[in-house]
């Protein structure tokens, strides 16, 4: 087994858990990944992001020991392919395409995975009970895969990937086919496991904005090349992506052309539908946490809650809110809240900047 990698919860140590230097690989005869150099630290939740064809799956397959590569990859200063420490003893890998036999149950599948990873029978039983409880699988864990919904199958595969709580967990689009509630449970579980066991998780997902709340850092790939690596706030600063204000109007109101013209003097408008839009202020505003349960008792006509108001908002943000309220009228606003920088916006800006 590996040496102790890092103190629990530490992600800023100078010695990298995984070190990549000039890593490259080919797929179907074409270069799919080229000259990837980066470090990944113990205890990180590390997202590999990029558009289709960027090389995300190839990168994860390399790190999982699934395909050959050129360049250098070390795990705590040991070659990734070191025969003295088989990669299966410390890495669990969930591929993007995973065909599971239809006739076995999730519990049987988890038991098989535990056995392949060298777990003892009692440890397998305890881990199955723990994981099925965490994923709320009681209703379907004993049913064969052929009777499960696509979401239940994927949850079962994710649960099997956690068997033994490996030192490194590599997941390729783990929660596809799952709804937003199931995905939220999964991200919370990954975050809690990091805090409890210092597990290192590397993953790619279609739902990057949902996952951004738990990641420690992200790597952005494009056309097989690494554009950048960093924490969310660092990347938002680097690519000039800032917080924005989301607004939903009441059902009895509408965004009129005069309102739109006045708002455009404050910032750029991105309309989602006739009653909701995002405003990206021209003046940079701070990213701060606003409780989403704050109620507005002053206006009974406003639906749900006011998530922002000018009472406690200082500086540029307070002035921006005052201007919005003046233009739209409080009575026409159902909800208004501050949204943090979106990783989708960061990805878009990074790719555009990389191609400039």
Domain of 223, CATH number, reads: 3.40.50.300
pLDDT given for residue 238 in this prediction: 92
Q: How many domains does the chain have?
A: 2
| Rounded distance between C-alpha atoms, residue 194 and residue 45, angstroms | 8
- From the list 127, 141, 55, the residue with the least C-alpha distance to 96 is 55
346: in domain: no
Higher pLDDT, 2 or 259: 259
Shared domain for 329 and 231, answered yes or no, is: no
**Mean pLDDT (whole number) for 154-175:** 91
| Rounded distance between C-alpha atoms, residue 185 and residue 173, angstroms | 15
* End residue of a domain, out of 238, 253, 275: 238
- From the list 71, 84, 88, the residue with the least C-alpha distance to 19 is 71
pLDDT given for residue 337 in this prediction: 82
pLDDT given for residue 193 in this prediction: 87
Q: Mind listing the pLDDT tens digit for each residue in 59-107?
A: 999 999 999 999 999 988 888 888 777 777 788 999 988 778 999 999 9
Q: How confident is the model at residue 308 (pLDDT cuts 50, 70, 90)?
A: low
The pTM of this model reads 0.78
Query: How many helical (H) and strand (E) elements, i.e. helices and strands, does the chain have?
Result: 10, 14
Q: Mind listing the pLDDT tens digit for each residue in 197-241?
A: 899 999 999 999 889 889 999 999 999 999 999 999 899 989 988
Looking at the predicted structure, is the pLDDT value of residue 26 above 60?
yes
Shared domain for 63 and 34, answered yes or no, is: yes
Q: Mind listing the pLDDT tens digit for each residue in 99-156?
A: 789 999 999 999 999 998 888 999 999 999 988 998 889 999 999 999 999 999 999 9
- Of the candidate ranges 176-190, 232-246, 303-317, the one whose mean pLDDT is the lowest: 303-317
The alpha-carbon radius of gyration of the chain (Å, integer) is: 23
**Mean pLDDT (whole number) for 333-354:** 86
Return mean pLDDT, the chain.
84
pLDDT given for residue 8 in this prediction: 35
The range of the structural domain enclosing residue 295 comes to 244-340
| Backbone angles phi and psi of 76, in degrees to 5 | 45, 55
Residue 208 DSSP SS3: helix
147: in domain: no
Shared domain for 314 and 257, answered yes or no, is: yes
189: in domain: yes
| Rounded distance between C-alpha atoms, residue 255 and residue 258, angstroms | 8
Shared domain for 250 and 326, answered yes or no, is: yes
Residue 309 DSSP SS3: coil
pLDDT given for residue 286 in this prediction: 57
pLDDT given for residue 318 in this prediction: 79
Shared domain for 262 and 335, answered yes or no, is: yes
127: in domain: no
Looking at the predicted structure, is the pLDDT value of residue 14 above 60?
no
Percent of the chain whose predicted confidence (pLDDT) is above 70: 87
12: in domain: no
Q: 279, exposed or middle or buried, with CB in 10 Å at 0-12, 13-18, 19+?
A: buried
The token pair that represents 204 in the structure block:
């790619």
82: in domain: yes
- Which residues are within 8 A (CB) of 80 and not within 5 positions of it... i.e. 6 or more apart? 63, 65, 73, 74, 87
**Mean pLDDT (whole number) for 174-187:** 88
Whether the Cβ atoms of residue 346 and residue 50 lie closer than 8 Å to each other? no
The token pair that represents 246 in the structure block:
């989301």
């Amino acid at each position: 087994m590996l040496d102790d990698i890092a103190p629990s919860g530490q992600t800023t140590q100078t010695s990298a858990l995984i070190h990549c230097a000039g890593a490259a690989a080919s797929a179907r005869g074409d270069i799919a990944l080229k000259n990837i150099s980066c470090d990944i630290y113990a205890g990180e939740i590390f997202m590999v992001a990029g558009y289709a064809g960027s090389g995300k799956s190839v990168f994860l397959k390399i790190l999982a020991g699934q395909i050959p590569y050129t360049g250098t990859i070390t795990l705590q200063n040991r070659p990734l392919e070191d025969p003295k420490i088989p990669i299966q003893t410390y890495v669990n890998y969930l591929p993007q395409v995973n065909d599971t036999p239809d006739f076995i149950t999730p519990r049987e599948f988890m038991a098989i995975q535990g056995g392949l990873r060298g777990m003892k029978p009692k440890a397998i039983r305890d881990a199955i009970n723990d994981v099925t409880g965490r994923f709320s699988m009681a209703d379907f864990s004993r049913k064969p895969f052929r009777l499960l919904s696509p979401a239940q199958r994927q949850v079962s595969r994710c649960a099997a990937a956690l068997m033994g709580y490996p030192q490194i967990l590599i997941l390729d689009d783990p929660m596809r086919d799952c709804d937003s509630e199931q995905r939220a449970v999964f991200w919370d579980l990954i975050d809690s496991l990091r805090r409890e066991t210092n597990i290192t998780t590397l993953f790619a997902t279609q739902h990057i904005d949902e996952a951004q709340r738990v990641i420690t850092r992200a790597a952005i790939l494009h056309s097989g090349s690494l554009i950048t690596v960093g924490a969310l706030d660092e990347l938002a600063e680097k690519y000039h992506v800032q917080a924005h204000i989301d607004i939903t109007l009441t059902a009895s109101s509408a965004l009129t052309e005069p309102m739109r013209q006045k708002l455009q003097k404050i910032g750029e408008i991105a309309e989602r539908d006739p009653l909701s839009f995002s405003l990206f202020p021209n003046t940079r505003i701070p990213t701060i946490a606003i409780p989403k349960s704050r109620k507005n008792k002053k206006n009974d006509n406003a639906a749900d809650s006011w998530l922002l108001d000018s009472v406690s908002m200082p500086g540029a943000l307070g002035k921006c809110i005052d201007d919005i309220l003046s233009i739209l009228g409080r009575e026409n606003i159902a909800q208004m809240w501050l949204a943090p920088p979106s990783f989708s916006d960061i990805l878009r800006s990074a790719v555009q900047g990389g191609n400039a």
